[in-house]
Structure 1
Amino acid sequence: MSKQAERADPGCCAPLAVRPMAVEQAAEVAPMFKALGDPVRLRLMSMIASVPEMCVCDLTPAFELSGPTISHHLRVLREAGLVDSERRGTWVWYRVRPAAFRQLGALLALPASVPAGT
């Protein structure tokens, strides 16, 4: 498990709209946002998050990319602490790390006191 995944604590982070981030906090969550900044990885994340777990054998055919390229993108998501994986026989199964998503969600939450804007 990555150091990033070990530190993911949903209660650690005030929303961005409440106060500026500390340097350490920004360094901790930036890899997660960077991993999600790629369209392929964002789509992979969406597919994995939509079910309790998903086999790589079901992810690969959904893209016009090679198996090694999909594996690379999944490794980036895993190293960023967004997904866990488990090998079962010849296949690897992926599932979302809920704590990491709660952490990102908490950062993006707007308090009720922030006026709605355009």
Structure 2
Amino acid sequence: MSLELTPVQAIACCSPLSRVPLSESEADGIVPLLKALGDPVRLRLMSLVASHAGGEACVCDLNDAFELSQPTISHHLKVLHEAGLLDREKRGVWVYYRARTDALENLAALIGGKSL
């Protein structure tokens, strides 16, 4: 017994995700951000920092949210910092992280279909 497939007519049901395709340089700029956020721990860390009171968080504020060691949390924060998603400032023995709004706006523009 064979199954016969019939042609399906394409119907435009929704608008495109983006008005124009990404340029090569735009894609090259976004890829490191997406790679950094591709890890669930880093995605949660980014969310915790961005939503923390005052828009910044100390490493000491973030450790309790995970069942991971402080060096592991610091490693993930370093990856986010190196990708350009977080700024950091050392105050005494602690490091404080702040979400970089320009990087987040670039991601929002990509997802929202606005030109970068």
TM-score by length of 1: 0.77
Give the match for residue 41 of structure 2: 40
Secondary structure of the structure 2 residue equivalent to 1:81: coil
The answer to whether residue 99 in structure 2 is matched with residue 96 in structure 1 is yes
TM-score of the two chains, using structure 2 as the length reference: 0.78
Shift >3 Å, 4+ stretches? none
Q: Closer, same or farther in 2 for the Cα pair 1:40/1:78, shift >3 Å?
A: same
Structure 1 residues without counterparts, runs of 5 or longer:
1-14, 112-118
Match of 1:49 in 2: 50
Q: How many residues align?
A: 97
- Specify the structure having the higher radius of gyration (Cα): 2
* Structure 1 counterpart of 2:72, one-letter code: T
Cα distance in structure 2, aligned partners of 1:34 and 1:59: 21
Residue 16 of structure 1, CA deviation = 5.7
User: What is the rounded CA distance, in whole Å, between the counterparts of 2:107 and 2:33 in structure 1?
Assistant: 8
Point out where structure 2 has 5 or more consecutive residues left out of the alignment: 1-15
CA distance in 2, matches of 1:110, 1:87: 36
Q: Give the number of the structure with larger relative contact order, counting CA–CA contacts within 8 Å between residues 6 or more apart.
A: 1
Distance in 1 of aligned mates of 2:74 and 2:84? 15
